Amino acid sequence: MTAQAEFGRLRADERLILFPDERSDKLSRWTIGATFRQVTFAGFSPMTRLVIERNRSTVEFYDYKRVRTEFGITRAF
């Protein structure tokens, strides 16, 4: 089982002509995953991951929320 948290911030020097405010972003990303080692085939095990991401921005193009799942295989040691 794995867990991860990421936080970031971006501040622009100047505003773009098309937008009323300068760009300022706050990013947070949360990830939790698991590898199922009890199920193996030729030394590989399935894994899954859930990622929740949120970027708050003063520019609408960059303001978003995303939830995704990932599935794959990994080498089981």
Are the beta carbons of 68 and 51 closer than 8 angstroms? Answer: yes
pLDDT digits (tens, 9 = 90+) for 18-63: 888 888 999 999 999 999 988 888 889 999 999 999 999 998 889 9
- Return the pLDDT at 53: 98
Where do the domains of the chain lie?
2-12+23-75
- Mean pLDDT score, 65-71: 97
- Mean pLDDT score, 11-24: 82
- Return the pLDDT at 40: 87
- How many whole angstroms separate alpha carbon 52 and alpha carbon 4? 11
Say if pTM beats, i.e. exceeds, 0.85. no
**Between residues 31 and 75, the one the model is more confident about:** 31
